[in-house]
Amino acid sequence: MEVQLQELIDRIKKDGVEAAEAEAEAILESAKEKAEKIISDAQAEADRILLNAKNENDRMVKSSEDAIRQAGRNLLISFRESVTRELNAIVSENITEVYSSQSLAKLIVTVVESWTSKPDAEDLSVILNSEDLKELEETLLAALKEKALKGITLKANDNFDGGFRISVNNGSAYYDYSAEAVVDMLSNYLSPRVTKLLKEA
């Protein structure tokens, strides 16, 4: 009886130990799986954070580069506009100086001589603003008479400030030598030229 009881106790112990070992094994396996999942999830999260950080960094670098490029373009455009404005002011100032009374009279006589040498130029009219016409009429008439240039009419027109216009063949052809037209013409030449020079620099 004692032997049977001992066997029963030994079997219970053995079964209990085996059950406890099996349960411990299951607990360890479950803990291991959970730990692996936690590590895997943490790695995936770390990879996602790193990827987001890299993308954000790339975006910021590109945005900074774009901003620098745009600032460079803006600076160049501003510089070109500034140079063009300065050149336009210089051209305008020099045209105004050239179109002062004495210079203007000489220029008109030269242009009229050039026009009257053309066989198809008839009924030549020189158009000035009222103020210049009043100031230059005597000088011009004397100079034109001296050069034997007849059939030339002097007219007033206050639609422009300085310079003059030439009308030929009863107004069928019209040539603008006004200060504004000359400044525009020279500025149109200078602006592309300035742009080309700046690109070459």
Q: Which residues pair with 154 in a beta bridge?
A: 126
Give how far the C-alpha of residue 122 lies from the chain's centroid of Cα atoms, to the nearest Å.
Answer: 48
Q: Which residues pair with 167 in a beta bridge?
A: 125, 174
**Biggest CA pair distance of the chain:** 163
Q: Are 189 and 156 in contact (CB under 8 A)?
A: no
pTM: 0.47
Q: Are 149 and 116 in contact (CB under 8 A)?
A: yes
- pLDDT, one tens digit per residue, over 22-54 is 777 888 888 888 888 888 888 888 888 888 888
Q: Which residues pair with 124 in a beta bridge?
A: 152
- 77/61: higher pLDDT: 61
Q: Are 163 and 180 in contact (CB under 8 A)?
A: yes
pLDDT of 45 reads 85
Sheet harboring 152-156: ordered strands across?
A: 152-156, 124-128, 163-168, 173-178
pLDDT of 2 reads 63
- pLDDT, one tens digit per residue, over 116-155 is 777 666 677 888 888 888 877 777 777 776 655 666 778 8
pLDDT of 197 reads 64
E-strand ranges in 56-162 read 124-128, 152-156
For domain 101-200, give the CATH number.
3.30.2320.30
What whole-number distance in Å separates Cα of residue 39 and Cα of residue 45? 10
| Structure-block tokens of residue 108 | 């008109």
Distances from the Cα of 56 to the Cα of 26, 71, 120, 169, angstroms: 44, 22, 74, 73
What whole-number distance in Å separates Cα of residue 113 and Cα of residue 124? 11
Q: Which residues pair with 164 in a beta bridge?
A: 177
